[in-house]
Amino acid sequence: MSIEYRLDIIRLEILVKTPSKQSFNPLGFIAYALLMPLFLLWRYSRSSSLSTWGRIWRIGAVAAVLLPLWIATYAVAGYAFMDRAGYIAQSINISGTGSMYPTFPKGEGKDPKELSKQVVGTPGMFRYPNGIVLFGKRYFHHTLGRGDIVVVDNETIKEITKKLYGKPSGLVKRIIGVPGDTLEIKGGIVYLNGVPQKEPYVARGRSTFGGSFLSDCKALTVPPHKYFIMGDNRKGSGDSRHEAGLIDEGDVQFALPWEKQKGSLDKNWHDPTNDLADTAQISLDKNAFFKLLNRKRKELGSDPLIYDGKLALSAQKRGEAMLKYDDFSFEATKSGYSMTRATAEANYYNIVYGEWPILGYYEASELLDNLFEFPEGKKFLTNKTYDDFGVAEAAGTLNSCPSHVVVLHFAGFIPPNYTKEVIDSWKNALKGLLEVQPGWNGLKTYPQYYEKHKNEVDRITDLLAQRVAYIPGIIAKMEANQWLTKEQERDVDRDAGLQREADALAKALNSYKD
């Protein structure tokens, strides 16, 4: 019996041998493995050479060997089926960019690229779409809904992430609007189908503001098979409000349903009870922001700034003009009210000016984090030529929508450092003028000639006198390495024109025969 038993095991190994890769069918193999133990038991129970007890013993011996395999096969088959149907959660790495804070933690990197490499969470998410497909129709599947956390990817997202993080990747965001929903962002609040939303998962209530795709106070109805997604850290998330735009259902790769987030991911969410109250409106502590900014500058090797009330006043004036004319350009192309004009009205003058406007409401720490999130912000705020600083807030309307802007004003001094060649050119010009000036003035002592060419002589002597009057002051400023006054700058701008006019007059006067 023992020899026959070993032969049975050999036969079993042959019977369950995996088909070649060329013809391998996972579902067929699972069915094959599940039914084979039943077939073997049936086969051995039909042997006519053994007594009833012999057959029972033989079946028991074979079952003792097959039962663990059978159980394991059913377990593996069940798992494979569940996985194939998308019912098994898969760990998804969440990077430390902070766009889904507080649901997932922020990283501790110094820039977006470094943060993107950090893993701050590995939640289990379900492949999308999931379910069982029979005759072209999907059954027992999850339907995407509001509040679901999703992993999305498409060509636009690849371009955005490559530019921001150095390599293409997907995004992890939350579904806010499903097909048919009408969304509007106003006063830091999301309105869904006209109803203001209390969102416990956001980093801070009343912290949602529009972007390039969906600006404040612009209603958007989500089309069929499209979704509107946002990060929980609304002020630090690139999402459907911005370049990413609406997401196709086919862009969704994984989903974590809303109901499966409770009890695990909601531990860091806030109580949204009072989020819609006026008292929940965010305000900027300007003094706290100034201290945080100087601390950050010191960490990065830049000298601290000096707070100047005149720059705060110019920032206030600029903010009001920005909202009034919907013109946030530094050149003030629409309003005509530039930073230099605002600083002049505030009685502040300097050489180097910088301005940064930010729409929305911010606390001191989140404003600093937002500004330093991107390389251009870091470079601007740590500019070593800046000495003075001022900040102000302005409220108004944009496109009939209540709006709020924070304006930062920077200014500093750098020496002009005129070259020797430039200074010498002015000295030589003055020397030449002083040499020829007496001769041209002397023409007035010849009455006959002077009366005939009085207009030309008076004009050329006046031009020479003007240039001789202002050039010494320009030379003195340059030799002292000081910036020219506004009047001297105007003299420099018109000097070449005056010289050309004088040269033309001299040529004409010299051509006269009398």
Residues classed as catalytic: 99, 173
The structure tokens listed for 296 are: 């950050």
The structure tokens listed for 511 are: 């051509």
Residue 315 region by backbone torsions, left for phi larger than 0, else alpha for psi between -120 and 50, else beta: alpha
| Residue 254 burial (CB count, 10 A) | 22
d(CA 180, CA 225): 9
Cα maximum dimension of the chain:
156
d(CA 143, CA 123): 19
What is the CB-side half-sphere exposure of residue 335 using CA atoms within 13 A?
21
112-117: long-range contacts at Cβ-Cβ below 8 A with a sequence spacing of 24 or more? 112/164, 112/165, 112/373, 112/374, 113/164, 113/165, 113/166, 116/161, 116/164, 116/165, 116/166, 116/169
d(CA 22, CA 474): 88
φ/ψ of residue 198, rounded to 5: -100, 115
* 212: DSSP letter: S
Query: How many residues does the structure list for the chain?
Result: 514
- Could you give the residue ranges of the DSSP H alpha helices within 46-139? 52-84, 112-117
Q: 């013109």: which residue's tokens?
A: 327
The structure tokens listed for 404 are: 């709020």
SS3 320: helix
Strand ranges, E, within 363-455? 388-398, 401-412
SS3 201: coil
d(CA 355, CA 318): 10
Strand ranges, E, within 108-193? 119-121, 124-127, 132-134, 137-139, 149-152, 171-177, 182-186, 189-192
List, as one string, the DSSP characters of 364-382. HHHHHHHHHSSHHHHHHHT
- Spatial contact of 478 and 422, defined as CB atoms under 8 Å apart: yes
d(CA 101, CA 268): 9
